[in-house]
Amino acid sequence: MNEIKIFCPATIANLNCGFDVLGLCLEGIGDEMIIRKSAEKGIRITKITGADLPTETEKNVAGVAALAIIKNMEIDFGFEIEIHKKIKAGSGIGSSSASAAGAVFGINELLGKPFSKHKLVDLAMKGEAIASGCEHADNVAPCLLGGFTLVRGYNPLDVIRIESPNELYAVVLHPHIEIKTADARAVLQPMIPLKDAITQTGNLGGLIAGLYTSDYDLIGRSLKDVIIEPLRKHLIPNFDEVKNSAILNGALGSGISGAGPSIFALCKGQDKAEKVAYAMSESYQNTGIAFDMHISRINQNGVDIITN
């Protein structure tokens, strides 16, 4: 195999109570990448469509992640990467992570899979760091592993894939405004009340338990964020209105996707998800801001090969 075409899914990180530790993988929305072996050594970004991103390997998240995977490998060939972006940069659904994850996944396939998917998460973080300013795994982990993922810790990286119930759907409203991850980080407070940390811990525990036991009510009761959402929601026009419309129409929970501006909701069943998506759209019409809506099951596979 000398060439591979892959689907690199969008992801939702944080999920209310799981700031910097939880994420999930989406179906249907994602980038496509083509990666091929080349006689020339090293990594080259040969084509980018759908976004205005740097083609210099060292400045491109896919390029940096690709360099990380071939580092220290004795190979007498290189790789070319085509990136066809469908996920907009700064959308809050893991655009840069999709590129980083896709690069390491594709190269690993072409090399005969020397690395485990968990190791690929570690390598993809190197690319992610170019976009966010720090190495984190809360989007690359679900993008590569699929499902829900928990980043337990970083020294060393410890990522756990969490089971989730079949009928769980995610709805995403993506307003066409950009919030840079660095700006979203700037509003955070370095110190937080211990009592809020306890509340968040209880909810995170409840969410994990709800996912393992398919307890949708418990999932819903646990999808709360007392630490980050109050500080960040002002960056997103009409956030409260959209969230309230999701909850009032039967969503289990709703919150900021990643660092925003996308707003997500989780729902039980496709019918409910469609109803919630409609209500969220309605509540955003009067902002005058263009937006996309996505409805998706939880993607259990993560990055995957596209076979024609």
Known catalytic residues are 128, 181
| Token pair belonging to 120 | 């690929």
Please report, as residue ranges, which positions from 44 to 103 form the binding site for its own copies (by CB under 8 A): none
Cβ distance to its own copies smaller for residue 65 or 151: 151
Separation between Cα atoms, residue 210 and residue 18, nearest integer Å: 14
Please report, as residue ranges, which positions from 137 to 156 form the binding site for its own copies (by CB under 8 A): 150-153
Q: Which phi and psi (to 5°) does residue 71 adopt? A: -60, 135
Q: Which phi and psi (to 5°) does residue 120 adopt? A: -60, -35
20 binds its own copies, rule: CB under 8 A: yes
182 binds its own copies, rule: CB under 8 A: no
One-letter identity of residue 220: G
Cβ distance to its own copies smaller for residue 108 or 149: 149
19 binds its own copies, rule: CB under 8 A: yes
Q: Least distance from C-beta 15 to its own copies, angstroms? A: 11
By CB under 8 A, the count of residues binding its own copies is 40
Of the candidate residues 212, 270, 282, 306, the single one contacting its own copies (CB under 8 A):
212
What separation in angstroms does the CA of 109 have from each of 29, 75, 87, 257, 307? 22, 15, 23, 30, 14
Of the candidate residues 89, 110, 162, 177, the single one contacting its own copies (CB under 8 A):
162
- Only segment of 36-44, 107-115, 182-190, 288-296 that touches its own copies (CB under 8 A): 182-190
Of the candidate residues 116, 166, 201, 285, the single one contacting its own copies (CB under 8 A):
201
110 binds its own copies, rule: CB under 8 A: no
Count of residues for the chain? 308
Q: Least distance from C-beta 289 to its own copies, angstroms? A: 30
43: three-class secondary structure by DSSP: strand
**Burial annotation 92-107 (CB, 10 A radius, 16+ → b, else e):** bbbbbbbbbbbbbbbb
17 binds its own copies, rule: CB under 8 A: yes
Cβ distance to its own copies smaller for residue 73 or 191: 191
Q: Would you say 164 and 22 are in contact if contact means Cβ atoms under 8 Å apart?
A: no
188 binds its own copies, rule: CB under 8 A: yes
Tell which residue, 47, 53, 63, 162, has the closest CA to residue 106. 63
200 binds its own copies, rule: CB under 8 A: yes
Q: Would you say 109 and 120 are in contact if contact means Cβ atoms under 8 Å apart?
A: no
Place of tokens 């071939």: 70
Q: Least distance from C-beta 192 to its own copies, angstroms? A: 5
134 binds its own copies, rule: CB under 8 A: no
Of the candidate residues 4, 67, 170, 227, the single one contacting its own copies (CB under 8 A):
227
- Only segment of 2-10, 88-96, 203-211, 281-289 that touches its own copies (CB under 8 A): 203-211
Of the candidate residues 208, 246, 256, 259, the single one contacting its own copies (CB under 8 A):
208
Q: If you compute the radius of gyration of the chain from its CA atoms, what whole number of angstroms results?
A: 19
Q: Would you say 111 and 143 are in contact if contact means Cβ atoms under 8 Å apart?
A: no
Q: Which phi and psi (to 5°) does residue 298 adopt? A: -75, 125
296: β partners: 170
187: three-class secondary structure by DSSP: coil
Task: List residues binding its own copies (CB under 8 A).
Answer: 17-22, 150-153, 158, 160, 162, 188-206, 208-209, 212-213, 218, 221-222, 227
